[in-house]
Structure 1
Amino acid sequence: MELSYILNELGEDRELYFNAVAPPILQTSNFAASTVADLRRMLQNEAEAHLYTRGNNPTVTILEKKIAALEGAEHAIAFGSGIAAVSAAILSQVSAGDHIVSVKKPYFWTNALMNKFLPRFGVEVTMVDGTDPENYRNAIKHNTRLLYMESPNSYTFELQDIAAVAAIAKEHNCSTIIDNSFASPINQNPIAMGVDLVVHSCTKYIGGHSDVMGGVICGRRESINRIFEREFMTLGAILPPQDAWLLIRGLRTLPLRMERIAASTRQVVSFLDSHPKVEKVYFPFLPSHPQYKLAQKQLRNNTGQFSVLLKTDDIKRVEAFCDKLQHFLMAASWGGHESLIYPIAASYTEGGLKSSLPFNLVRFYIGLEDPEYLIKDIAQALEQI
């Protein structure tokens, strides 16, 4: 399916809404049936019907069709946030007494779900170093049901060999889920590598404007409909139609934004990688990265995230560097038009260590600004180190 068709035409039956170029926001909670027989059919197959916006909404359906096609999936289901999608996907695969093998250091709230929430309900989780697929195999038990990936990983961006982990899962009759938010569906399609369910935080690249939150699960139609009937309808973490409309808007420019972000990021990383006040750059597309070949194999292009380890053992100098930046916002998320930093130093307090990551690690996200503009800003801030 052509990328331009997916982004501009798929799911958009314009003759149904007066040939409007932009799809309408169908801001309704209820949908009426013409007859009892019609209502009966809607009730019997609500996963495929428009009955109640807590289930399906036509504006949301357009978004789901587009993201499913971008991921090469049969179907998709949208949620109100990325962690809502992650949680529903994981919960759909396990029951009390089951075991999960997960990559270490996933997204903060995924980690909380794995290590604080699921154990309360009798689900055991083993966290492994995902850079070696055999670590997944070695952690599998008789009751393992799920292998969870996030490739690249948060903050330090280690990769997992997606196809290898998916093959191990199939050998042991386990399912697989991957958080593909870092790459976006433009740069990586794990379903083609054998993964069962792909999740995204749509808040990031898919939205692209830092003004809307959302999440999505992509997979086989049977699997997605089962999640719809259980986790989605029961927990109610729906995506409102107006938010879906904003995400559709974001999708229109996704390839252009990703191309611009990738090119600018390479320039900024090149500057930092050779700077004497930078100890290390965590970026899978650096030739010096230990997983550089795997990154080239799995990812079509780099994206806008990387981290740097500043060459200092003084937290005050790290803070001074971050505070001195004039054209990077300091914020927790990423994926919009604006460039950002997230300093791990913010997780350190006088009372003691709060993070397992070093305080001199700073995560960068490169947006749509001119790279020279950003490099100049970083250069003046590095004078604080």
Structure 2
Amino acid sequence: MKNQWEQDLEICLEYGDRRKEFGGAVIPPIFGSSLFVYETTDSLSEAVMNEQEQYVYTRGTNPTIEVAEMKLAALERGEVCRCFSSGMAAITAALLNSVKSGDHVLCVSNLYFSTMELIKYLGKFGISHTICYETDAEVIEKYIQANTAVIFMESPSYMTFRLTDLDTVASLAKKRGIRTIIDNTWATPLFQKPLLHGVDIVVHSLSKYLGGHSDLVGGAVIAGKEIMGTLFTKEFLLMGASFSPYEASLLLRGLRTLPYRMHGHQENAIKIAAFLEGHPNVLRVLYPGHPTHPDFSLGKSNLTGYTGVMAFTVDGGYEGVKRVLDRLEYIKIGVSWGSFESLALTPNTGSNERQLLSEQIDPGTIRLAVGLGDSGRIISDLEQALR
């Protein structure tokens, strides 16, 4: 029987490629057509009534996108995947499918700031929210309200990189009929499979590791057939945030090398986390793959590997982080992450320190996305910037 690595590698390299159907093409062709025609009125009507399984209009289904969706669903060990035009489109669809007016969303620890802005915006429609900054399941349970409909997680969490016990949280949610959603972008399906821990919906930004080349923007939702059946007809088709077949081809290219790229990111990141941990000008390192991380033991049960995104803190608030960031040469200052390049930024804008403290984010935080370059060169750049 194949182990998880062998299964995932086969999915990335071959699964769903339909080479016989596509004339032996090693790479699935890009079906750029916006629509698909039928020979009779009856056959078109039948296809429209079954648009999840038939090609009618690329806003719904498309052969190139379908191959990518099949691979992502298989990697997550889920039943169905739908790709969207951005990660936020995917998160929006997952949330809107899960709540109604009068419901409550429980946010666990720190979430991506745009996700939090969306959840706050839902207050306009009578949907409330609470943030539990603790990741301990017993504490999370105390924040559950009678009208809680969704527990939304990011594990590791945004900027603070805390882990949540997925098995325990999913179990307590199911007992209360609460849906669980997790942003699994950091870990990728290679290093964490939340659906196997009982989580209901997984969302991804495809712009990060899954694409892997800083040249596409997209998102994905993976869940069971029942959830995705309603999501397809409502939040997917009606919102119109469809993924492009051209972007899907870039995603497929990225998936071919995903297993090898992720191990490269992990190898570099572990070395760099160790360097930062020993540097006198670094106050704290936030990386689940380093033994000093408070959730290192939990990571051994939730994660099968570690990616390249971490944070570290320095003294001096905004001026302190700016001094370090502005001295970087090889590492570039920029948003996003997950590609070959190494990137760094700070959540501190110089005017939001009070807000950061309320969110339990140190104002001296620098987020580092370790790329695939030589680890020695990355360390040398950090050394001279921290000096």
TM range (shorter): over 0.9
**1:196 counterpart (193, 197, 200):** 200
**2:43 counterpart (35, 38, 52):** 38
What one-letter code is carried by the residue in structure 1 that aligns with 2:14?
Answer: E
- Alignment partners' CA distance in 2, 1:303 and 1:214: 20
Is the Cα–Cα contact under 8 Å of residues 109 and 135 in structure 2 kept in the other structure? Answer: no
Q: Residue 102 of structure 2 corresponds to which residue in structure 1?
A: 97
Q: Residue 111 of structure 1 corresponds to which residue in structure 2?
A: 116
Is the Cα–Cα contact under 8 Å of residues 130 and 159 in structure 1 kept in the other structure? Answer: no
- Alignment partners' CA distance in 2, 1:343 and 1:127: 22
Query: Shift of the alpha carbon at 1:354?
Result: 6.0
**2:29 counterpart (17, 24, 30):** 24
Deviations 1:20-64 (A, max 9, x none): 111111101110112222112111111121100010111000000
- Alignment partners' CA distance in 2, 1:355 and 1:148: 20
Is the Cα–Cα contact under 8 Å of residues 76 and 219 in structure 1 kept in the other structure? Answer: yes
- Alignment partners' CA distance in 2, 1:166 and 1:314: 37
- Alignment partners' CA distance in 2, 1:5 and 1:190: 20
Percent identity over the alignment is: 38
Is the Cα–Cα contact under 8 Å of residues 341 and 364 in structure 1 kept in the other structure? Answer: yes
- Alignment partners' CA distance in 2, 1:112 and 1:136: 21
**2:370 counterpart (366, 372, 381):** 366
Matches within 5 A, 1:317-356: 317-345=320-348, 347-349=349-351, 355-356=356-357
What one-letter code is carried by the residue in structure 2 that aligns with 1:44?
Answer: M
Q: Classify the secondary structure of the residue corresponding to 1:15.
A: coil
- Once the two structures are overlaid, the 10-residue window that deviates more, 280-289 or 259-268, is 280-289
Q: Residue 3 of structure 1 corresponds to which residue in structure 2?
A: 8
Q: Residue 283 of structure 1 corresponds to which residue in structure 2?
A: 287
What one-letter code is carried by the residue in structure 1 that aligns with 2:330?
Answer: H
What one-letter code is carried by the residue in structure 2 that aligns with 1:361?
Answer: T
Q: Residue 223 of structure 2 corresponds to which residue in structure 1?
A: 219
Q: Classify the secondary structure of the residue corresponding to 2:189.
A: helix
**1:81 counterpart (86, 90, 108):** 86
Q: Classify the secondary structure of the residue corresponding to 2:345.
A: strand
Matches within 5 A, 1:118-197: 118-197=122-201
Go from structure 1 to structure 2 and tell me whether the alpha carbon gap of 1:315 and 1:94 turns closer, same or farther (over 3 Å shift): closer
What one-letter code is carried by the residue in structure 2 that aligns with 1:79?
Answer: F
> Any stretches of 5+ residues in structure 1 without a counterpart?
none
Matches within 5 A, 1:229-378: 229-310=233-314, 312-313=315-316, 315-345=318-348, 347-349=349-351, 355-356=356-357, 357-378=361-382
Go from structure 1 to structure 2 and tell me whether the alpha carbon gap of 1:314 and 1:63 turns closer, same or farther (over 3 Å shift): closer
- Alignment partners' CA distance in 2, 1:344 and 1:127: 19
Q: How does the TM-score come out when normalised to structure 1?
A: 0.95
Q: Classify the secondary structure of the residue corresponding to 2:262.
A: helix
What one-letter code is carried by the residue in structure 1 that aligns with 2:204?
Answer: H
Q: How does the TM-score come out when normalised to structure 2?
A: 0.95
Query: Shift of the alpha carbon at 1:382?
Result: 1.0
What one-letter code is carried by the residue in structure 2 that aligns with 1:316?
Answer: E
What one-letter code is carried by the residue in structure 2 that aligns with 1:225?
Answer: G
Q: Classify the secondary structure of the residue corresponding to 2:52.
A: helix
What one-letter code is carried by the residue in structure 1 that aligns with 2:325?
Answer: C
Is the Cα–Cα contact under 8 Å of residues 74 and 218 in structure 1 kept in the other structure? Answer: yes
Deviations 1:164-190 (A, max 9, x none): 100010110111110000100000000
What one-letter code is carried by the residue in structure 2 that aligns with 1:348?
Answer: G
Deviations 1:78-111 (A, max 9, x none): 0011111111001101100111111132001100
Question: How much is the aligned-residue C-alpha RMSD, in angstroms?
Answer: 1.5
Go from structure 1 to structure 2 and tell me whether the alpha carbon gap of 1:332 and 1:33 turns closer, same or farther (over 3 Å shift): same
Q: Classify the secondary structure of the residue corresponding to 1:251.
A: helix
- Alignment partners' CA distance in 1, 2:318 and 2:43: 65
Is the Cα–Cα contact under 8 Å of residues 348 and 354 in structure 1 kept in the other structure? Answer: no
- Alignment partners' CA distance in 1, 2:334 and 2:124: 31
What one-letter code is carried by the residue in structure 1 that aligns with 2:340?
Answer: H
What one-letter code is carried by the residue in structure 1 that aligns with 2:324?
Answer: F
Go from structure 1 to structure 2 and tell me whether the alpha carbon gap of 1:267 and 1:173 turns closer, same or farther (over 3 Å shift): same
- Alignment partners' CA distance in 2, 1:61 and 1:328: 36
What one-letter code is carried by the residue in structure 2 that aligns with 1:318?
Answer: V
- Alignment partners' CA distance in 1, 2:253 and 2:214: 12
What one-letter code is carried by the residue in structure 2 that aligns with 1:43?
Answer: V
Query: Shift of the alpha carbon at 1:140?
Result: 1.8
Q: Classify the secondary structure of the residue corresponding to 1:234.
A: coil
